[in-house]
Amino acid sequence: MKLLHRIGVNCFMNPNANSKPEAEAEIETRHHHLVHDGKPLPQHLVIMVNGIIGSPADWKFAADQFLEKLPDQVIVHRSECNSSKLTFDGVDTMGERLAQEVMSVVRRYPGLRKISFVAHSLGGLVARYAIGRLLEEQKEVPTVNEKAECVKNCLEKQSCEAKIAGLEPMNFITVATPHLGSRGHKQLPFLCGLLFLERRASQTAHLIAGRTGKHLFLTDNDGGKPPLLLRMVYDSDDLKFMSALCAFKRRVAYANANSDYMVGWRTSSIRRQRELPKSNLLIIDEKYPHIVHAKGGSGTADDIVTNKESSNVGGQTIDFEEEMVRGLTIVPWERVDVSFQKSKQRYVAHSTIQVKTYWLNSDGCDVIFHMMDNFLL
């Protein structure tokens, strides 16, 4: 009950719409009520996930904006099962905890019909793991690794017949997430691309960030298995990571095109170097001054077969990064590139893109507004 109380405090509805005393409001939240101030509760659950050494407070600004704009349409839950040092426990352990937390929240709101995830940095990897655990297929459908039928549905913007935590999957949004890990190739920008520093970081990351460090640098080999992030671009017997991603109607990757010293542009936007926009990054909308490039998901079912068959080129096995790009792009992603290059807050771009702390990261507000204005309800 104590755990439920803690989770209940972190599930939000529009604070301006509730005039009841705080204690009474908490009691009502903890119970399975289907109405709020005489109105049906929103049916769309939005789960917000923090990054490494983060906390639920990191998403406070974004949660408040969602509730102000969509007070009757969403319930926002800022995850609190993975915070501070718990973020060193590994992507899999954190993903299992998040899956359990999501199920606890869903059970408390039986009127829910839809679910979306918004995750920052490491939280995007944790969310990807969790949805693999939460996937509920409604009927026998081929996995994306066996046939292209599920992917064809994605490309036609029709989700597979599957649920996440029993709900209809809508938006899966990551913000500055190292989808391809942090191993070499300038994926950890503050190392300046120096090979000896990147090599040293891979060897010592676990000393600083525990199992999470091993996962990020792809140095884990639990039971002789391939690195976890590599396994997460496929389906397995019990965790269908890609089928879960395919089930969402939208997958969106927000990425800092520059000035992010923690997560590189390629890994956060799931692209190869040659695929990054080469023209000068320009503001595309005055309403969103820091959104400099946006592109919808693309791809064809034929590309899926090509990617699968070309995993061994010229007798040489492709490297981990290339294999992850190919695996993740089996399903289409919307990519939104962000630049704080002309902002005084550019040196903390990794937090500014999320508006982690308003007084320090306020220039990222337009990113949150862009996210809300394109949110599929």
Q: Where are the domains of the chain?
A: 2-373
pTM, two decimals, is 0.83
Least confident of 128-132, 153-157, 263-267, 293-297: 153-157
HSE-up of residue 217 (Cα within 13 Å, Cβ side): 21
8 Å CB contact between 9 and 80: no
55-85 b/e (C-beta count within 10 Å ≥ 16 → b): bbebbbbbbbbbbeebbeebbbbbbbbbeee
Output the CA–CA distances (angstroms, integers) from residue 364 to 108, 317, 354, in the order listed: 33, 40, 6
On the 0-12 / 13-18 / 19+ scale of CB atoms within 10 A, 96 is middle
DSSP 8-state secondary structure symbol assigned to residue 255: E
Structure tokens at 205: 């990351």
Quote the pLDDT of residue 145. 52
Quote the pLDDT of residue 3. 40
Q: Which residue has the higher pLDDT, 153 or 61?
A: 61
User: Who's near 107: CB < 8 A, 6+ residues apart?
Assistant: none
User: Who's near 12: CB < 8 A, 6+ residues apart?
Assistant: 63, 67, 75, 76, 77, 78
Q: How does pLDDT run across 191-247, given as a tens digit for each residue?
A: 455 454 556 556 565 556 679 989 998 999 888 899 999 999 999 888 999 999 999
| SS3 of 132-160 | HHHEEECCCCCCCCCCCHHHHHHHCCCCC
User: Who's near 311: CB < 8 A, 6+ residues apart?
Assistant: 317, 318, 323, 326
Q: How does pLDDT run across 15-73, given as a tens digit for each residue?
A: 444 434 333 333 233 333 455 566 788 999 999 999 999 999 999 999 999 999 999 99
